[in-house]
Structure 1
Amino acid sequence: MLRSSTPKGGIRLGILTHIPLSNRLQLQTGIIYSAKGATEQQVFDESIPGLQSATTTLNVNYIDAPVNLLLKLPLKGKWNFLLGAGPQLSLFYTG
């Protein structure tokens, strides 16, 4: 059996808010819709009659709720670099 997989492009749409905790710390949270997927093709041994190949397409959609702690690092001028990390709750929506 020969197998190949191709990722599919998806979208990510949502609303995020930044809540200042101090001059350099922020809390980022919101709701995000994420669409992901892949296409997989399998080619089987030709000795099996009637079953030469199969293609599977996977599309999954999630509602994500991230909670990130951001550290604002000032750069030159009005520029800032944000470094952040935190947990995320993901709820399976459809797929």
Structure 2
Amino acid sequence: MKKHLLLLTAALSCGLFSYAQVSFGVKAGYSMAGMSAKNIITDNTPYEANTKTLPAFHAGVIADISLAKNFSLQPGLFYSAKGAKLHQISTGPADEIEKVVSTAHLNYLELPVNFLYKRALGPGKIFAGFGPYLAYGVGGKIKTEYEHYASRESEVKFENKEDYAAGITYVKPFDAGANFIAGYELKMGLLLSVNYSLGLTNTSPYESETQKNHYLGISVGYLLHKHK
């Protein structure tokens, strides 16, 4: 069944690229990365962590596939930095309440697939759209500062594993969600865009935590060539 599905996907992809007008390009930009986070501290009471955004970046390649007069499909593959600064409360060794500040830098390979509506305006086209994304973690670091204890830095391992090993923080390898995008494309290929990426999956494997990524990005890109 899986083999037949792969063959069907390949056939449809070949057909799409054969008959559709396709542009290839590069894209990069600045991101304001953040997280929504909740912890359970005592009596099964959820505590919503106070989070702040971190400066980050994204860079990669895109394909713009014309589907109809004003509609196109725009998949991409990006190296995307995510994370946040989280102000949390935890319990210390003597069950005292401990204030904790964690700065998480997480790196992903991200595959967004956006459905775009384009309309001619001035010397180019204005566009807007949305679509899903899937990301896979490739590396990261987390620095944790405690109110009463020494700070520590841990390596991020992207595994679905609930383990409190020294110097290691586990994060689920896959992240998925929705992407919303708008921008302007010039006839000569230059494009400017703003996008908001909303994580819909819990990336923490720890039972007492829920964490979801999000970021606001500003990008500059260039479509290199077109063919039919």
Aligned residue pairs total: 87
Alpha carbons of structure 1 residues 4 and 24: separation in structure 2 relative to 1, 3 Å: closer
The match for 1:21 among 52, 62, 67 is 67
Alpha carbons of structure 1 residues 42 and 87: separation in structure 2 relative to 1, 3 Å: closer
Distance in 2 (alpha carbons) for counterparts of 1:22 and 1:41:
47
Would you say the 8 A contact 1:16–1:28 is kept in 2?
A: yes
Please identify which structure carries the higher helix content. 2
Normalising by structure 2, we get a TM-score of 0.33
**How many angstroms does 1:55 deviate by?**
4.0
Where relative contact order (Cα < 8 A, 6+ residues apart) is larger, the structure is 1
The answer as to 2:56 corresponding to 1:56 is: no
Question: After superposition, what is the alpha-carbon deviation per residue over 1:26-85, rounded to whole angstroms, capped at 9, x for unaligned?
Answer: 110110111122334569xxxx8xxx865422111111101111111122x323111111
Stretches of structure 1 that go unaligned for 5 or more consecutive residues are none
Normalising by structure 1, we get a TM-score of 0.71
Stretches of structure 2 that go unaligned for 5 or more consecutive residues are 1-48, 141-228
The answer as to 2:119 corresponding to 1:82 is: no
**How many angstroms does 1:11 deviate by?**
0.8
**How many angstroms does 1:89 deviate by?**
1.0
Alpha carbons of structure 1 residues 70 and 57: separation in structure 2 relative to 1, 3 Å: same
Greater mean alpha carbon deviation, residues 5-14 or residues 24-33: 5-14
RMSD: 2.5
The answer as to 2:57 corresponding to 1:11 is: yes
